[in-house]
Amino acid sequence: KVTESRSFDKALVVFHHWNASARYQQLANFFSRRGITVVEMALPYHFERSRPGADYADYMLSPNLGRTMQSMRQAVWDGRKLIRWLREQGFKEISVLGMSLGSWVAGLIAANDKTVSKAALFLTAGSLADMVWTGRATRTICESIKPAIELDDLRRAWGPLNLVNHAHHLARDNLELNVVLAKRDKVVLPELSERLIQGLKDAGAEPSILELNCGHYSLSMPPYIVSAGRSVARLLKPDP
């Protein structure tokens, strides 16, 4: 879904959260009024890409380790193809923004696509394995995995999805990072986010970090989402 602006210089590609039921229209309008075209990509098994008969995006993130890897890989490929298309349309600066699970997709794209100049990661962490193992929203997945695999094995299986393992690429000179976290997050625990921040700093990155006194889901409500949106607006403003 494309929300156009008057300018065709900047584009922001947005990756939504797992099981999203609606697009981020207010966010899209906020940035389009500021001269940034917003492109919201449906992740695999969401919106128009939903699996027939499925009540939620059970193939995007599931106890099936290989299918989850395949779905995340598909999301990254799709995002990179979309970025190439935006370049062909004439956009000069392309940034990415990811929410929760979408932040892993946005982070992986930013790490591996040097045409991305700015990345905003909301409610993110490094290890997807640890997030699934400890998060409230993924409790059912964790209960299905635990009888068959230990956490260390899950970390190895999903190692390519761990943003800490891509920290060196995320720390490149031509990439600016903005991270927005919730201090009372029960889905992506704050200690997991802290590991990612430390990994980025160890690699030489200097991310802009905004920690809000809210939970995972309340970030989407005022006044928290206003603060988060303003932090991204500062990230995307023209360089002096």
- pLDDT tens profile 115-125: 999 999 999 99
Query: Which DSSP category does 116 fall into?
Result: E
> Would you kindly state where each structural domain of the chain is located, as residue ranges?
2-236
List, for residues 59-115, the tens digit of each pLDDT value. Answer: 999 999 999 999 999 999 999 999 999 999 999 999 999 999 999 999 999 999 999
Does 6 or 83 have the greater pLDDT score? 83
Are 98 and 121 in contact by the 8 Å Cβ rule? The answer is yes
3-class SS at 63? Answer: coil
pLDDT at 32 over 70: yes
User: How much is the pLDDT for 240?
Assistant: 46
pLDDT at 239 over 60: no
Specify the fold of 2-236. Answer: Rossmann fold (3.40.50)
Q: How large is the C-alpha radius of gyration of the chain?
A: 17
Give the Cα separation of 38 and 175 in Å (integer): 19
CB within 8 Å of 1: residues ≥ 6 apart: 23, 28, 39, 40
Kindly report the pTM of this predicted structure: 0.96
In the predicted model, what is the mean pLDDT of residues 168-172?
97
* DSSP for 201-212, written as a single string: HHTT---EEEEE
In the predicted model, what is the mean pLDDT of residues 167-188?
97
